Structure 1
Amino acid sequence: MKHTTLHQLKVFEAAARHSSFTRAAEELFLTQPTVSMQVKQLAKAVGLPLFEQIGKRLYLTDAGRELLATCREIFDRLAHFEMTVADLKGVKAGQLRLAVITTAKYVVPRLLGPFCQRYPGIDVSLQVTNHEIILERFSQNLDDLYIISQLPDNSDAIVHSFLENPLVVLAPSNHPLALQKNIPLERLTGEPFIMREPGSGTRQAVQKLFEIHGISVKVKLELGSNEAIKQAIAGGLGISVLSSHTMALEGMTSHLTILDVEGFPIERYWYVAYPSGKQLSVVARTFFDYLMDEGKQVLEETSAQSIMGLGARD
């Protein structure tokens, strides 16, 4: 292995992560034959095959799995070293790897804007995905920090709440209940509901509230995207329950309104998490402290600026 290069290890890691030479080539801006050759040379240095190919998919061999774990340790140590050196120089620089739950896409970019302006030397890798994949990435320690909307069952997780994430009832702005106050929860039983897909944190919270009160609603439509749900509501297909943050950039011309329903908003929170025992890099610790100390204030300021901008254009 003494002639193995860091470049070969990076190529192998990308191929292993994607289970594909083609996708690794696209990520690294290389040709597929180049990736294949680099992996072949690496396997020759190891003395054992690193992949086996079944159909069009690559699977790691035992040696491949061991090498992948070693690669990630090497890359983590190098990244940590680079960040430590930058910190010693008085500069916050390096890469911040974030994995965030899909609904956090309304929150995290607005938090990252001021953060990246303050620390221009920090590059951000942002993975936006569903709860299941977040947990998978968490178990493999692929990211620095994880932004989630429900507490994980994993007792090895360090979790801190940093922002309220209330769930509200959304309806078309011309809905008959739009101007009513203290709408009884039972009144929703006659309304067609648009729900997130089964298994989503939002849907679970809504179903729990309805079950407590013995209420059953008719689900007319299931959608896996908050934006799709908002469009369906605006189109008059029904009402739904979503995070109030999904309304942050709607502005004064929105076709949606929040209904004043008993039992709402449902109190929920955004959490920042990382595996227990994980040593946060300088960059990750800087962003963690920023979330805990300034996150709520930053979002309030950006929301106010958006509303003022919309008002000025109107």
Structure 2
Amino acid sequence: MNYTLHQLQVFLKITQTKSITKAAEELHLTQPAVSIQLKNLQDQFEIPLTEIVGRKLYVTEFGKEIALAAENIINEVYNINYKTSTFKGILTGKLKISVVSTGKYVMPYFLSDFTNKNTGIELEMDVTNKLKVIHSLKNNEVDFALVSTLPAAVKIESEVLLTNKLFLLANKNSALPDTKKTGKHLSNTPLIFREEGSATRIAMENYLSKQGIQAKMKLQLTSNEAVKQAVIAGLGLSIMPLIGLKNELENGNIRIIPSKNLPIVTNWTLIWLKGKKMSPAATAYLDFIRKEKNSIIKEYFSWIESY
């Protein structure tokens, strides 16, 4: 066998993207270059690594086994490089974090000082929906995940970063009902929801259920930013996390409707797999968070306490 590390890297990316075109884009290579590397690797095996069915690329079971081995080899090579740099007194390595979509208003502030001080760290932050975040965590594809509700079916360890508050929100022209009549008001007002599976959606549905409120009309949107703009435009009311609404609250485009049993209070929590063997970069980041999170909260998020 004479396969190269580069061939393994290309093949691994192909298995992850299920596409030569997408693999080429992510590797910053041309399509022909990726195809050649795949062919050169395939020529060393009698069993197919991939197959094309209806112009779509599929990875064979054998190919999946080779991809897993390739990933382990590549990770070990990275570890050799990281250990060499560590002995030189330089912190290097990849730090992989998966973040639920609303967490984009939180996570960057807990990363910037760390990455600025450790320029040898290569950061990969994926902002996506809750289901994909938990999937990547369960499959050990990331070092950490940021969530607002803890997953029940995964054994994890955690570090709370920040309080998460959810309020009932309306635009600046909406009438504010009497607190005792909020339930009736919500039953007769269009409500704006996040998509199925969203932690914000689950929190909103649980609140409405406990209050015995049935939505008259629903509008479903796939991001907090879209929900925020819909509320501002007057399309309806929504229960949303306070984070990401600072400017809109200060300029009066969005108003909080005082409501019984609100706000809903949870936590933005950094989680990782229980018993995970952390890389030097991940270990250093966790140490940084534990030492610096209070000063980060004070500098960037103290405004939350006024609501």
Matched to 2:102, the amino acid is T
**1:148 counterpart = 2:147:** yes
Partners of 1:249 and 1:8 in 2: CA distance: 49
Alpha carbons of structure 1 residues 249 and 294: separation in structure 2 relative to 1, 3 Å: farther
Q: Is the 8 A contact 1:116 1:122 kept in 2?
A: yes
* Pairing of 1:189-268 with structure 2 (within 5 A): 189-250=187-248, 252-268=250-266
**TM-score, normalised by the number of residues in structure 2:** 0.90
Measure how far apart 1:183 and its partner are.
6.9
SS of structure 2 residue aligned to 1:46: coil
2:57 alignment counterpart: 58
Other-structure match for 1:283: 281
How far has the Cα of 1:190 moved from its partner? 2.8
Q: Is the 8 A contact 2:193 2:221 kept in 1?
A: yes
* SS at 1:246 equivalent: coil
Partner of 1:119: 118
Unaligned runs of 5+ in 1: 306-314
Q: Which moved more, 1:237-246 or 1:289-298?
A: 289-298
Structure 2: how far apart are the matches of 1:155 and 1:140?
10
Kept in 2, the 8 Å contact 1:189–1:217? The answer is yes
**1:248–1:117 Cα change, 3 Å:** farther
Quick one: distance in 1 between partners of 2:48 and 2:37?
Answer: 13
Equivalent in the alignment of 2:39: 40
Give the Cα separation in 1 of the matches to 2:257 and 2:290: 31
Q: Which amino acid aligns with 1:46?
A: F
2 CA distance for matches of 1:244 and 1:101? 15
Range that drifts further, 187-196 or 287-296: 287-296
The 1:105/1:40 distance shift into structure 2, 3 A limit, reads: same
Matched, 1:78 2:77: yes
For the residue of structure 1 that corresponds to 2:158, the secondary structure is strand
RMSD: 2.2
Letter in 1 for 2:59: L
C-alpha distance in 2, partners of 1:12/1:124?
22
Cα distance change, pair 304–213 in 1 and its aligned pair in 2 (3 A): closer
CA distance in 1: counterparts of 2:9 and 2:140, whole angstroms:
17
Residues 159 and 15 (structure 1), Cα distance of their counterparts in 2 relative to 1, 3 Å cut? same
After TM superposition, the structure 1 stretch with the greater mean CA deviation from structure 2, 19-28 or 50-59, is 50-59
Is 1:80–1:282's contact at 8 Å kept on the other side of the alignment?
A: no
Q: CA deviation at 1:91?
A: 2.2
How many residues are matched? Answer: 303
Calculate the TM-score normalised by the size of structure 1: 0.88
Deviates more, 1:206-215 or 1:82-91: 82-91
Counterpart position of 1:312: none
- One-letter code of the match for 2:70? C
Indicate the residue corresponding to 1:166 in structure 2.
165
- Percent identical pairs in the alignment equals 34
Change (3 A) 1:250 1:90: farther
- Runs of 4+, deviation exceeding 6 Å: 180-183
